């Protein structure tokens, strides 16, 4: 079997974490990517779900811009809402409706 080198760039910290994780699994980075490539070729799909973080959906970003505008123009009608980071993440993931 003839092999060819493959090169790509990634974040240095991510690479270190990936190498450590694969080492703990007892495989090399090269072996892990070969397994990934074979799974893609065999199945014709990426073997895990890839999805957009709901926070970055257009409607969420539009709503964020609207709220920033209201805040910056003083049109918040005196209503101030304080939310924890967990509550904000739940809202971003669509788990609850915001009343702001």
Phi, psi of 84 (to 5 degrees): -75, 165
Element (H, E) at 87: helix 85-92
pLDDT band at 87 (very low <50, low <70, confident <90, very high): confident
Sketch the domain layout of the chain as residue ranges. 12-43, 54-92
Sign of the C-alpha dihedral, residues 9, 12, 13, 18? positive
- Dig out the tokens for 15 from the structure: 């690479």
Alpha helix stretches (DSSP H) within 1-74? 12-25, 29-43, 58-72
> Comparing 91 with 39, which gets the higher pLDDT?
39
pTM for the predicted model, two decimal places: 0.51
Q: How many residues does the chain have?
A: 100
What is the pLDDT of the chain when averaged over all its residues?
86
User: What percent of the chain is modeled with pLDDT above 90?
Assistant: 46
Q: What is the pLDDT of residue 97?
A: 53
């Amino acid at each position: 079997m003839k092999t060819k080198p493959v090169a790509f760039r990634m974040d240095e910290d991510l690479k270190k974490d990936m190498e450590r994780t694969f080492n703990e699994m007892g495989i090399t980075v090269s072996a892990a990517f070969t397994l990934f490539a074979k799974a893609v070729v065999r199945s014709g799909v990426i073997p895990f779900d890839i999805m957009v973080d709901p926070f970055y959906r257009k409607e969420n970003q539009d709503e964020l811009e609207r709220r920033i505008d209201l805040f910056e123009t003083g049109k918040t009608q005196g209503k101030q809402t304080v939310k924890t980071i967990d509550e904000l993440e739940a809202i971003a993931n669509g788990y609850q409706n915001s009343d702001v």
